Chain A
Amino acid sequence: MNQEAFGLIFTGEHNPYMRDLVLSRAVAAVPFGGRYRVIDFALSNLVNTGIRNVGLIVQKNYHSMMDHLGTGKEWDLNRKRDGLFLLPPFSTKDNTGVYRGDIDAFHSVMQYVRRSSQKYLILCGSHTVFNTTFDAILKQHRETGADITIMYNEDPRFFPEEQNRDLRLIFDEDGMTVKRLEWNPRNPGSNFRSCEVTIIDKDLFEDLVEESYSRGGVDFVREILLPKVRELKIMGWRYDGYVGRIDSINTYFMHSMELLNASAAKDLYNMRHPIYTKVKDEIASEYGENADVHNVVMADGCAVDGTVENSIVFRGVTIERGAIVKNSILMQGVTVRKGAVLDHVILDKNVTVNAGRQLTGYEGIPLVFRKNLTV
């Protein structure tokens, strides 16, 4: 149990680069890794740190999120003391119920923050997947006496045309104290990118947010962290494990495919700290007489009698005899009928591909078919 920290996850951001995958859901609710949603990683990291008080700020289209989370029991967060708090927007005299940015959202949930008994706040975004606990970053935060500690990793990949919430850290000579921060830079001054995890003392968080809110502040990074980088003691905590940033269709596809390589899978699927998700009670997956499956991550409840290669297959997918699926992501409930051929495609939930259809995307340009479509 960790009684010194609580978690706050912000899922309200819109991301245009995710296109069809976020038509009816937040990025946090996008299915990832065969049987999870993006939010499961942040939630499980908090729970695996022993944190028992988690607030989740939801904004638009939060039905699928509520359906997914329920009472929080799959994450062991259905607690009498603390537990999981879903924090949807609400309109009052001075709150329109629509957030212009995260500062609005933080301001509107300040009651929850104030009421939380823990000293440290772990602020999490909802675009980043990794599997670790926050014990080490909390320890560093305590020991260095930092005002704010930001978790980061070294990521040399840079996709300027799809840049989204890209926070770069530039350090002093000590390699830990943040000298400068860059927010969506054109020419990044470092490869050290925030993992969307920020540790901050609860009281300081309240002061910073309320002060900025009263002056019309919108964005926590832009209007609080950036201007105060000299005033506050901001430190970095380096994470060397696998980090996936779900910023766009392309990075979603790229990080999904990385799960087929052993080291990423080992990090993300590390069973020492399991990733929890909503359980669907499917049966085991059935491989048929003609199944020919190579280099595939597959969840339960699938029935496969075709050829599948280099792909991610979510729960309850049917791939009929003679169908060929390569380099693709098939979400929950997809059906691929006899003889269909897929290459570099993303099929959202419950898409059906009829017999004999041929769908081909290209590397870097996967074809996306939205939820419930019949092709």
Chain B
Amino acid sequence: MKKKIVCMLLAGGQGSRLGVLTSSMAKPAVPFGGKYRIIDFPLSNCVNSDIDTVGVLTQYRPLALNAYLGTGQHWDLDRTDGGVFVLPPYMTEHDGRWYSGTANAIWQNRAFLDQYDPDYVLILSGDHIYKMDYTKMLKFHTANSAAATIAVLRVPMEEAHRFGIMNTDENGRIVSFEEKPKEPKSNNASMGIYIFNWKLLRDYMERDDADPESENDFGKNIIPNMLNAGEKMVAYPFEGYWKDVGTIQSLWEANMDLLGEPPVLELNDPSWRIYTRNPVMPPHYTDASADVKNSLVTEGCVVRGTVRHTVLFCGAKVEGRSEVLDSVVFPNAEIGENCFVKKAIIGENAVIGDNVQIGIPPKEGETVDNRLTGDIALIGNDVTIPAGTVIPCGAVVTAETIGQLRNGGIKA
């Protein structure tokens, strides 16, 4: 059946800047906010915007994502006509290739889109946290009779060099686009949210595919080509919370943004619920000796210790006499007795033994490889930390580096 608009979600890559958190799953499946995975945000935005057909493009470990999405019922995306589909690369009788770029991923799945004969296609990234009504953006797109609309956010000028910057004229029409400019001309940062007229985009992608020099990328190829050809491309100004959670630092920050009164990011919004796969766990239990303040706690948690300014995910446990501060504790992670944890991300199913200290200043002369983490201590998924271990801030602990820990600290 014909659809007005279909969403293509670039769930993409390994997310190498998230390090050990993505060693067995794609970035969009990384936990967020106590109950969610990153991908719940674009999916819920779609459903809340009445978009009922979503293709999820991925070529990195699709199993976890596939298992997570299932039939789409948790997002109300189990539809007779439409729904959510995981679209990995595939072979044909002639050839088959990996997705060579963001545009190529869409191009290889043109048959998926063609079956809905959509007027518009909405293209999203799978690693951003935000709440957005795409119907407003679509209205803006049609009211402007645009060929393409790109959502932009005003960022502080001094940070503009980290983003793709859209330079616009006084009518909001995009005149040029610069990827991470050294000297930005404006602060309209692209949010990685595009609406295209499908037929037009299809033509551009076909030509782009025929160009052996192209990297088949929206930012590098498709958008510049359309601009050069004089297509009408407009910037849709978005106001509200938006965060790229592609790094350990930003993932930690975005979780912290949920704390405080009122929080920077308010998820308690009945008109804009974020849907997620429910873990089917009992209510959480706060023990007589527990002391929890300024934190998020969810189903399946058991708290017997002190928890401050922390996000506990489903099934997380904090045992007695332990103190957990400014941290993010992923699903089913367990923190033993008499531990001290400060400014850390504890991976899924990690088991922290008794008397462990995490996130304390490194000893004199001790060096820590913190290129990915800054001052955040990161414990990988499924890692078991032996009792009594001391882990300095910024350290990354995986099953492989556990051995080094026993020998007196993590070497750079």
A residues with a Cβ closer than 8 A to B are 33-35, 73, 265, 268-269, 271, 274-276, 279, 281-301, 303, 313
- Complex Cα–Cα for A115 and B9 (A): 46
Q: Is the CB–CB distance between B296 and A285 below 8 Å?
A: yes
Please pick, from A34, A284, A313, the residue contacting B296 in the complex, using a CB distance under 8 A: A284
Knowing A294-B290, A301-B268, the reply to whether A285 touches B33 (Cβ < 8 A) is: no
- When C-beta atoms are compared, the residue in chain B nearest to A290 turns out to be B293
- CB pair A291 B268 closer than 8 Å: no
B10-37, CB under 8 A of A: which get 1 and which 0?
0000000000000000000000011100
Complex Cα spacing A33 to B33, Å: 24
- Cβ-based interface call for B287 (8 A): yes
Q: Which of B53-61, B112-120, B270-278, B400-408 contacts A (4 or more CB under 8 A)?
A: B270-278
Contact of A294 among B288, B298, B299 (CB under 8 A): B288
Query: Cβ of A287 and Cβ of B283 under 8 Å apart?
Result: no
Q: What separation, in Å, do the CA atoms of A9 and B45 have in the docked complex?
A: 39
B residues apposed to A, CB below 8 Å: 33-35, 73-74, 261, 267-268, 273-276, 278, 280-300, 307, 311-312
Residues of A within 8 A of B291 (CB): 292
**A284 & B34 in contact (Cβ 8 Å cutoff):** yes
Given contacts A284-B34, A284-B296, A289-B261, A275 and B282 within 8 Å (CB-CB): yes
* B33 x A284 contact (CB < 8 A): yes
A-B pairs with beta carbons under 8 A, tally: 100
Q: Which of A269, A281, A287, A296 contacts B276 (CB 8 A)?
A: A281
Identify 13 new A-B residue pairs, CB closer than 8 A, beyond the known A73-B73, A284-B297, A299-B283: A265-B282, A265-B285, A268-B282, A271-B281, A283-B33, A283-B35, A284-B311, A285-B284, A285-B298, A287-B296, A293-B292, A295-B287, A301-B268
Q: What are the nearest 6 A-B pairs in CB distance?
A: A284-B34, A34-B283, A269-B282, A284-B298, A284-B296, A299-B283
Of the residues A35, A274, A294, contact of B283 by C-beta under 8 Å: A35
Q: Judging by beta carbons under 8 Å apart, are A287 and B292 in contact?
A: yes
What does DSSP make chain A's interface, helix, strand, loop or mixed?
loop
Distance of A279 Cα from B298 Cα, bound (Å): 14
Q: List 29 A-B contacts (CB under 8 A).
A: A33-B283, A35-B283, A35-B299, A73-B73, A265-B285, A271-B282, A274-B281, A275-B280, A279-B74, A279-B278, A281-B273, A281-B275, A281-B276, A283-B274, A284-B34, A284-B296, A284-B298, A285-B297, A286-B295, A287-B293, A287-B294, A287-B296, A288-B261, A291-B292, A291-B293, A292-B291, A293-B290, A300-B283, A301-B268
Interface SS majority for chain B: loop
Interchain CB contact under 8 A, B33 and A295: no
Bound: A138/B11 CA distance, A: 47
A289 near B280: Cβ-Cβ < 8 Å? no
- Known A-B contacts A276-B280, A293-B286, A294-B288; the reply to A299 vs B273 at CB < 8 A is no
Cross-interface CB contact of A283 among B34, B73, B300, cutoff 8 Å: B34
Residues from chain A with a CB closer than 8 A to the CB of B274 are: 281, 283
A297 touches B283 (CB 8 A): yes
Asked whether B296 lies within 8 Å of A288 as measured between CB atoms, the reply is no
Query: A287 contacts B295, CB within 8 Å?
Result: yes
Kindly report which residue of chain A lies nearest to residue B299, judged by CB atoms: A300
Give Cα A299 to B300, complex, Å.
9
By beta carbon, the residue of chain B nearest A262 is B285
Report the bound CA distance from A279 to B288 in whole Å.
28
Q: In whole angstroms, what is the CA distance A290 to B291 when docked?
A: 10
Provide the bound-state CA to CA distance between A288 and B263, in Å: 11
Which of chain B's residues have a CB closer than 8 A to the CB of A294?
Answer: 286-290
CA A291 – CA B284 in complex, angstroms?
15
| Chain B hits for A287, CB < 8 A | 292-297, 307
Evaluate contact between B280 and A274: CB separation under 8 angstroms.
yes
Given A284-B296, A284-B297, A286-B296: A295 and B286 within 8 A (CB)?
A: yes
Tell whether, in the assembled complex, residue A288 and residue B311 are in contact, meaning their CB atoms are under 8 Å apart: no
Measured between beta carbons, the chain A residues less than 8 angstroms from B283 are 33-35, 297-300, 313
Closest chain A CB from B177 CB (angstroms): 36
Q: B282: nearest residue on chain A (CB-CB)?
A: A269
- Please, which residues of chain B bring their CB within 8 A of the CB of A283? 33-35, 267-268, 274, 296
Q: Which residues of B contact A295 (CB under 8 A)?
A: 286-288
How many angstroms from the CA of A287 to the CA of B307 in the assembled complex?
10
How many Å from the CB of B333 to the closest CB on chain A? 15
The reply to whether A34 and B276 form a contact with Cβ atoms under 8 Å apart is no
Closest chain B residue, CB of each to CB of A268 = B282
Contacts of A282 in B (CB 8 A): 268
**Assembly CA distance A301 to B274 (angstroms):** 12
**In the complex, A318→B301 CA distance in Å?**
19
In the assembled complex, which residues on chain B have CB atoms less than 8 Å from the CB atom of A291? 292-294
